[in-house]
Chain A
Amino acid sequence: MWFAALLVYLFLYLPLTVVVIYSFNDSRLNAEWVGFTWRWYEVLFQDEEMIQAAVNSILIALGASLIATMLGTMAGIAMHRYKLKALPFLVITPVAMPEILLGVSLLLFFIQVLHLTLGLLSVLIAHITFCVGFVAIVIRARLAGMDESIFEAARDLGATPWQTFRLVTLPLIMPAVIAGALMSFTLSIDDFVITFFTAGVGVSTLPLQIYSMIKIAVTPEVNAVSTLLMLLTLGMILLAARFDKTVLRGETR
């Protein structure tokens, strides 16, 4: 049984290792190993389209994580304290359902109802939609694990509800808030499906760039950008996990 488990772990890591290794392969083809080179990374940094896509990705991720964290924290607190029925459903379903449904319905909505030209804004809104639920889950989990009487104690000792929030609740959920923000950033940067439908023609993000490169002409540049992106998201997830362990479990909702 250990053997089987080990095989599975290998299965999980082999493909990624291949990508990383080939990003240094001095050959146009993803076939044999020719020699070590930084070439593809150089090409990457001179690729203007790619750089623009990266900038877009980061801008959107920053905006989305900021707003989603605020809305998600409010939602998480509301869900925990008020035991509402509608809010959890609204907030968590986008996280659980197939992304294509979200992407397509937003496309419809933006064009048909809002007459919005697809671009950065539409992607931003779309990303917020699925990040809010994630943050809310993390915050709610954190609150559920705390001794309820602490908040009553604060009021009992003279704190108004606002003071209780500011001096007791907020400091205690802060690690979860930060973890949620970092994860939102990661989810946003990494998102493909929803972005695919809501980005329109003019705007590209890193995942969209990668997709078109895969479909049109596969060059090892893809390996290079993949490796870098992997490192970035890896770093962010590890960082987030330091603030709140539940992020790891929540990763798979």
Chain B
Amino acid sequence: MNKEKLTRWLVSGPPFLFMVVFFVLPALIMVVASFRFPGEHGGLAPMFENSSWQFTLETYQFFFSDFIYTEIFLKSFLIAGLTTVICIAMAYPVALLITRVPKRFRDVMILLVVLPFASNFLIRVYAWMIILGPQSAFSVAINSVVTAFGFEPVPLLFSPFAVIVGMVYVHLPFMVLPLYTNLEKHDPILLDAAQDLGANAWRRFWKVTWPLSLPGVYAGSALVFIPVLGMFAVPDILGGTGDILIGNLIKEQFLGTRDWPFGSTLSIMLTLAVLAIAALAMRFSRKSLSYA
């Protein structure tokens, strides 16, 4: 059966090779880079110079030396968490609705949820620039109410509020679909049984639907939380100067100040955070699957 093995190598080989070279290798390079010195004009200093290996823990020390970096990390987590919670709250009614309509409408409704995703990511963010801009109808309306109460007009754009709106908007479909996929599998008999045993609509939701939907919630949460953590474009476009997140920091290091070792360190920290979240999500998913 040597032919079998040959075929296996031929088929899995090229993609495997490609990904090792252009995905694994760069990742490893980045790990190494975080331990190197920055070059004179930015970038990286040579690894071997003055007849010795030039490696250091400097960047990691630097990271922990100034609280501002940790603060930015925490802020990013906060924003990611907030976005996730809001997405859950907004996605749930939609996902539920889709499960309740007759089968033939479902594909269309899912399509409708996914379609905005078809537009370019930047466009979706930019659209909120228009809506939240000071001259838009929306802003004017909100602010006329605000000033009517005697407060200063509130700038909606370039604020944490705008960042969150942007993040939610961009990631909402990510939450709807896993949630729907899970809800679709619920046996309606369970709700009937609960009702038969005396539970009202609210309790039926909390005691039956919600627990069973948890794997879907976790899956969707991971799909929202992780990208939000690494996002830089939304704060860049919709946020003010004080609203930078990890992503913005990393971008600055690589393209602005060109302190690549530090940028690498930040990236590694982000990667670790992402892995931790992913692992958590999987553990919780599996745990709650044991009820279902």
Direct contact of A and B (CB under 8 A): yes
Q: Which residues of A contact B (CB under 8 A)?
A: 1-2, 4-5, 8-9, 11-16, 18-19, 22, 29-32, 70-72, 74-75, 77-78, 81-82, 84, 86-87, 90-91, 93-94, 96-102, 104-109, 111-113, 125-126, 128-129, 132, 136, 161, 186, 190, 192-193, 196-197, 206-207, 210-211, 214-215, 218, 222, 226, 229-230, 233-234, 237, 241, 245, 248-249, 251-253
Q: Which residues of B contact A (CB under 8 A)?
A: 3, 7-8, 11-12, 14-16, 18-20, 22-27, 29-30, 33, 43-44, 90-91, 93-94, 96-97, 107, 110-124, 126-131, 133, 135-136, 169, 172-174, 176-178, 181, 223, 226-227, 229-233, 236-237, 247, 250-251, 254-255, 260, 263-264, 267, 270-271, 274, 278
Q: Are A109 and B14 in contact (CB under 8 A)?
A: no
Contact partners of A22 in chain B: CB under 8 A: 130
Query: A94 is contacted by which of B14, B23, B278 (Cβ under 8 Å)?
Result: B23
Q: Are B15 and A136 in contact (CB under 8 A)?
A: yes
Q: Are B120 and A19 in contact (CB under 8 A)?
A: no
A-B CB proximity, top 6 nearest: A98-B230, A15-B127, A78-B12, A109-B26, A105-B26, A75-B15
Q: What number of A-B contacts does a CB cutoff of 8 Å give?
A: 245
Apart from A108-B33, A207-B120, A210-B122, what 7 extra A-B contacts exist at CB < 8 Å?
Answer: A78-B8, A99-B230, A108-B26, A129-B19, A226-B127, A229-B119, A249-B110
Q: Are B29 and A109 in contact (CB under 8 A)?
A: yes
Q: How far is the CA of A128 from the CA of B21 in the complex (A)?
A: 12
Contact partners of B96 in chain A: CB under 8 A: 1, 5
Contact partners of B29 in chain A: CB under 8 A: 105, 108-109, 112-113
Q: How far is the CA of A111 from the CA of B263 in the complex (A)?
A: 15
Q: Are B127 and A19 in contact (CB under 8 A)?
A: yes
Closest B residue to A22 by beta carbon equals B130
- A19-B130, A30-B133, A108-B33 known; A248 vs B123 contact (CB < 8 Å): no
CB proximity of B7 to chain A, nearest CB, Å: 6
CB proximity of B233 to chain A, nearest CB, Å: 6
A-B contact pairs, 9 of them (CB 8 A): A12-B112, A12-B169, A74-B15, A97-B226, A97-B271, A101-B271, A109-B22, A230-B118, A233-B120
Contact partners of A15 in chain B: CB under 8 A: 124, 127-128, 130-131, 169
Q: How far is the CA of A241 from the CA of B115 in the complex (A)?
A: 11
Q: Are A192 and B121 in contact (CB under 8 A)?
A: yes
Query: B126 is contacted by which of A14, A186, A214 (Cβ under 8 Å)?
Result: A214
CB proximity of A195 to chain B, nearest CB, Å: 11
Q: Are B237 and A230 in contact (CB under 8 A)?
A: no
CB proximity of A133 to chain B, nearest CB, Å: 8
